[in-house]
Structure 1
């Protein structure tokens, strides 16, 4: 140091007194309330954890898709953005399916991805990411590798604001490993609005449609519960005596399943949607696309003579809707405004939804009997995290959702969300009983999440619906020309022992095949203080 010019010595001394990028980022995360970090670290991330502060917690996942799935569930349960730390290109690659699901779920995640040191990036070093900003695209709202180390806190701040602006979603910041120890300045957090308000002229159009129709129907999607608009939706439906459907492939439930106006769940098929909504002359879609289809179809998107209006927080969804008026704004803000603006005439109540016939026990056990029994033994405020695609239509008939923020599933169609998100939701809702209702095939994408549940001793009851196959594929095969009973390659799952798998992760587990033992088994499992897995063999 003595051989350096005085100006350089002064600069070095000043840098020593300044905070590091690590100090500034941790301070920023603290101000945003993101003190829980979900990750699976590699060598390029280790510098973040030097002198790790006591007020932060690190939730280790055993695979990157589990990490992102846990963070997804946690962010939804807490209604806050979650911070994720992944390892360079390999870690982000492993997590991409879960990032895609978080994007479709509109979950606010700030993802930091490690990168090799800047000084060796020109030499294509081991474990570097050659194009980090495009790796996760297009399933992140924002992706950046800052030009300078000093810019990392600003990049994190921008990512956070973008992740939490409607429509919410994941963002990614690639951070070279040598950036964390570089000097920089603290960054002051800002207040940034996250909700847009409805335009008065469009609000007036939608209110007029509701006021002058005769037989209104509502289609309620994920955005209602996500935006805390459950109660306002019930009030609006009751004011208009509107039948209420849940939107196709909805990742949350936005209306009570035991309400007299509840009509059921729409399928993701054009002709069946039109048939279900037949007889209604005004359709109001709240917090959902109009509409999500799973298979190709032909014909109109609406029943003859019906008008459609949509309240959605995503302008991209509003743009591709083939029909109707779209009001782009915060979902709760839009519904609240409609409560103020609409004054309908008195209408007769629509017909009640027909109840499903009671499921009867048999051997092998029917899925309907399992879900009917689970509904009878659980408390109405129990939180359900579901990923059993073949059982979902049966669940819609036999296991109603009664309260807001008690149902979560994935909007992407990609498997692996269920077990990991169950852990994240339970972590974000301390003291709540959480049920992870997961199919045998789905569970194998993130079985490592059982370890997290054990380490955290969360009050989770995992129920594995084991039909020894990818049943959804087999049931869907007829769409592509398969004949009944014709063998479908790659859809059988014999020999999986979920009791052994759970115990291998330290989780208590048992199996039930006899319908006579089901109710007592489930009652006991729902009283466990820590996690327990119940494997149910079904037809």
Structure 2
């Protein structure tokens, strides 16, 4: 038998594991079933408090993405996990390595279904976690959390869940063996060589880039590959990250999430290379082929599920950095190719009316160099894509799920993960209300975030989408009587309301120059 000497406690071993995994912050909103986890809370750790559990997960998601390392979230049994599920779903879609540790009632009273316990705790967060576990014994908790970390970091990354009874933290346990687990994913060499040959032989190739390029830090490699082949580069529909400089001559724009329109954009190209995105995410029903009939498609992705469900083409499972490096090692183009026609420049707004176009063009001119945009303004997203290019590596974050309530707290997490950098949180008025309490955390942490509310007084994205279903008038989409400046100032964030286009420049520059968070309520006209 092995050495089973109990020389430590569950809590001590878990914090030792956190340090080994590079974790020095815990995001949470504590409840009674978590309190012993924080007994003698280590001085080298920070506790990041959010005022509601969905905000906590959103902050951790942004933080983990910004650092490319896992984040730890502490939630309160069933009620807290229930509050957090919307942003846990988004973390799943964002493929973010978030380790959720949830409280559970004491083991001795679980048979009596006590107050604030979690029934079937491991089933509750499914299917939006990669792995879910409640250890059978207290001494197994550190090993379960270690496994959760390694599972979260295996490609594709994603959230994981461990339920821990309240009385486990003080129990003795054997020291945990701290391990390293390789996360590299090398694609099939023969299939990558085939893709490289096809790319070199093609007459008119086209690239589609998805969020995996940004997550795998393959920015430079994609630029090099596109320039080598003079291929126009489209952003994948609904991509949650910027994966190619949007001011580059080869950037073609953003594919819509509609089958027929995607085929229209891809028409005339004989080879389509999809890098780090699905083939293809749709938002409405469509008919006909998924790609032009004379085109060949290759997809590089770390996600086996995406590779399996792609309806056309050859899918190669690989990390993007390694896969693109293999394509760069392949043959050069067989013939000289012409540069594609540059993307047209949008017409400049006059500034006579305070429209979202004027707002986004003003942001493009005035934003600090290298600033980071975290966006959740669905009705203004096409305007943003046309008028506010994202030119820098890791310069843009949004929700991959389409669920609201992620952008505001994610901006707080990104600012924590990228200290000293200016973060611009571009939020719709309706979207911001799903997580408005996140302003309090930004104020308490003193983070340099410019919260910009694109206030059109409605859930305008729904009004814009309604004609798809033949609807001309909707109920429940108007948002009168809201005072965003009062909501911000009540939580310690200075705020300004702008309703005259002549006042916008000064408001933006003042916000960008502030050392802490500010909010601008921009009352745009339709």
After the TM superposition, which residues 172-187 of structure 1 pair with which residues of structure 2 at under 5 Å, given as runs? 172-187=161-176
| CA drift at 1:342 | 3.5
Q: Distance in 2 between matches of 1:280 and 1:353?
A: 17
- Do 1:77 and 1:428's aligned partners in 2 also have CA atoms closer than 8 Å? yes
Q: Distance in 2 between matches of 1:342 and 1:377?
A: 43
Secondary structure at the aligned position of 1:425 is classed as helix
Structure 1: runs of 5+ lacking an equivalent: 1-10
> CA-to-partner distance for each residue in 1:203-226, whole Å, 9 max, x for gaps?
122112201111111000100011
- Verify: 1:510 aligned to 2:499, yes or no: no
Q: Pick from 427, 438, 449: which aligns with 1:460?
A: 449
CA gap 1:478/1:88 in 2 versus in 1, 3 angstroms: same
Q: Distance in 2 between matches of 1:341 and 1:225?
A: 22
Q: Distance in 2 between matches of 1:313 and 1:262?
A: 23
Q: Distance in 2 between matches of 1:251 and 1:342?
A: 32
RMSD: 1.0
User: Match for residue 266 of structure 2?
Assistant: 277
User: Match for residue 367 of structure 2?
Assistant: 378
After the TM superposition, which residues 465-484 of structure 1 pair with which residues of structure 2 at under 5 Å, given as runs? 465-482=454-471
After the TM superposition, which residues 194-233 of structure 1 pair with which residues of structure 2 at under 5 Å, given as runs? 194-233=183-222
User: Match for residue 357 of structure 1?
Assistant: 347
- Do 2:368 and 2:512's aligned partners in 1 also have CA atoms closer than 8 Å? no
User: Match for residue 6 of structure 1?
Assistant: none
| CA drift at 1:481 | 1.2
> CA-to-partner distance for each residue in 1:68-115, whole Å, 9 max, x for gaps?
000000000111000000000000000000000000000000000000
| CA drift at 1:422 | 0.4
User: Match for residue 132 of structure 1?
Assistant: 121
| CA drift at 1:350 | 1.2
User: Match for residue 153 of structure 1?
Assistant: 142
Q: Distance in 2 between matches of 1:233 and 1:90?
A: 44
Q: Distance in 2 between matches of 1:143 and 1:494?
A: 42
CA gap 1:380/1:306 in 2 versus in 1, 3 angstroms: farther
Secondary structure at the aligned position of 2:238 is classed as coil
| CA drift at 1:121 | 0.4
- Do 1:28 and 1:188's aligned partners in 2 also have CA atoms closer than 8 Å? no
Secondary structure at the aligned position of 2:462 is classed as helix
- Do 1:281 and 1:305's aligned partners in 2 also have CA atoms closer than 8 Å? yes
| CA drift at 1:362 | 3.0
> CA-to-partner distance for each residue in 1:165-195, whole Å, 9 max, x for gaps?
1100000000000000110022122111112
Q: Distance in 1 between matches of 2:475 and 2:127?
A: 31
- Do 1:380 and 1:403's aligned partners in 2 also have CA atoms closer than 8 Å? no
| CA drift at 1:357 | 1.3
User: Match for residue 522 of structure 1?
Assistant: 508
Secondary structure at the aligned position of 1:496 is classed as coil
Count of aligned residue pairs for this structure pair: 521
Secondary structure at the aligned position of 1:223 is classed as helix
- Verify: 1:327 aligned to 2:316, yes or no: yes
Q: Distance in 2 between matches of 1:355 and 1:277?
A: 21
User: Match for residue 347 of structure 1?
Assistant: 337
Structure 2: runs of 5+ lacking an equivalent: none
| CA drift at 1:514 | 0.7
- Do 1:380 and 1:402's aligned partners in 2 also have CA atoms closer than 8 Å? no
| TM-score normalized by the length of structure 1 | 0.96
Q: Distance in 2 between matches of 1:315 and 1:80?
A: 21
- Do 1:277 and 1:303's aligned partners in 2 also have CA atoms closer than 8 Å? yes
